């Protein structure tokens, strides 16, 4: 893999980076993370991602022993070492740390910090022209009373199992329900559907990750005059979907034209979806080119 990785102060090429086996992020899946991407070399909505990282850590009672500037300097140093042309994908991981095999937090006094910087490619052209197929999988999204989905946690078995089920069904993403049978989110993205010109997305109370892209899209929609609201959705509502799309930092917006065998609208990416995607991308370029001074 091209790129560079920072592990607790040491930066190496991506394919030689290592973490001790006794890291509780490895042995117990204890940790939180963020995925950020750059435009024109500038991390987009960086502050919002770092705020969410801190919020996620708070749910684990995990201290974050560094300030934002320090973290940014580690990210920049890692990006410098990676020296990648074009835009990058930045994954920041914070684990419980290295220590004895016990859940006793005193055994791991210092969290581990890992920063992965690798190339970020744009969406393949086919996504825009043809859209994608997703699957509504039987795997439920974690119950908020267990590993709450609002935590961007390294504990991703729920997500991986769902995505692998979708892959087995020939789809590119997995849409999940919560324990109440309501739609919540996908394994690596948030879910939206358009009905009668209004873009709808499940409420946070459904048990989901509050996506940075999802939140920013509400601002973009307001600027565009597209009605957007969060509401309770169930699988039966999919019948009335004129358009469907999913959102994430790495995807931006992906039009969904099929959910399993259900064709959405005319089976082509929807006009509201594409309008939102264009406006989102334009805003991302505007906001980052305004900060090109910060670029690496
Ligand atoms: N995933 N829901 C889940 C479960 C996610 O993992 C993600 C992001 C999102 C969208 O969040 P955002 O808009 O802040 O990227 C929703 C990242 C991209 C990942 O794990 O690779």
| pLDDT of 242 higher than 90 | yes
d(CA 200, CA 164): 26
Residue 250 Cα to ligand 1 midpoint, Å, equals 8
pLDDT of residue 292: 58
Query: pLDDT tens digit string along 1-59?
Result: 899 999 999 999 999 999 999 999 999 999 999 999 999 999 999 999 999 999 999 99
pTM (predicted TM-score): 0.97
pLDDT tens profile 174-222: 999 999 999 999 999 999 999 999 999 999 999 999 999 999 999 999 9
Give the mean pLDDT of 91-101. 98
Nearest to 255 by CA among 121, 124, 133: 133
What DSSP assignment string belongs to 220-280? HHHHHT--EEEE---GGGGGG-SEEEEEETTTEEEEEEEETTEEPTTSS--HHHHHHHHHH
Residue 295: pLDDT band (50, 70, 90) is very low
254 CA distance to ligand 1 middle (Å): 13
Instruction: Tell which phi-psi region holds residue 3, choosing left (phi > 0), alpha (psi between -120 and 50) or beta.
Output: left
Could you confirm whether 77 is annotated as catalytic?
no
Which pLDDT does position 296 carry in this prediction? 42
Ligand 1 centroid from CA 201, angstroms: 15
Q: What is the mean pLDDT of the chain?
A: 96
Report the atom number in ligand 1 closest to the C-alpha of 208: 2
pLDDT, one tens digit per residue, over 131-160 is 999 999 999 999 999 999 999 999 999 999
Of residues 152, 229, 268, 275, which has the active-site annotation? 152
Residue 12 · residue 3 · CB < 8 Å: no
């Amino acid at each position: 893999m091209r790129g560079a990785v920072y592990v607790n102060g040491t930066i190496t090429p991506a394919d030689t980076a290592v973490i001790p086996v006794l890291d509780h992020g490895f042995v117990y899946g204890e940790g939180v993370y963020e995925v950020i991407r750059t435009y024109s070399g500038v991390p987009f909505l960086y502050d919002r991602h770092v705020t969410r990282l801190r919020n996620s850590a708070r749910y684990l009672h995990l201290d974050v022993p560094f300030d934002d500037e320090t973290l940014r300097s580690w990210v920049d140093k890692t990006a410098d070492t990676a020296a990648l042309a074009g835009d990058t994908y930045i994954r920041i991981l914070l684990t419980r740390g290295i220590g004895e095999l016990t859940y006793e937090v005193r055994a791991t006094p210092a969290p581990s910090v890992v920063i992965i910087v690798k190339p970020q490619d744009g969406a393949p052209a086919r996504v825009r022209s043809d859209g994608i197929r997703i699957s509504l999988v039987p795997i439920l999204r974690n119950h908020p009373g267990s590993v709450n989905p609002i935590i961007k946690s390294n504990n991703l078995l729920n997500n991986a199992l769902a995505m692998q089920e979708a892959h087995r069904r020939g789809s590119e993403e997995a849409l999940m329900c919560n324990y109440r049978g309501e739609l919540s989110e996908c394994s690596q993205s948030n879910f939206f559907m358009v009905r009668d010109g209004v873009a709808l997305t499940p409420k946070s109370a459904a048990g989901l990750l509050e996506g940075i892209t999802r939140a920013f899209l509400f601002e973009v929609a307001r600027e565009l005059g597209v009605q957007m609201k969060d509401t309770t959705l169930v699988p039966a509502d999919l019948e009335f979907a004129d358009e469907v799309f999913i959102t994430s930092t790495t995807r931006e917006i992906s039009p969904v034209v099929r959910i399993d065998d259900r064709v959405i609208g005319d089976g082509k990416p929807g006009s509201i979806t594409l309008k939102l995607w264009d406006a989102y991308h334009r805003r991302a370029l505007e906001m980052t080119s305004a900060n090109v001074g910060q670029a690496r």
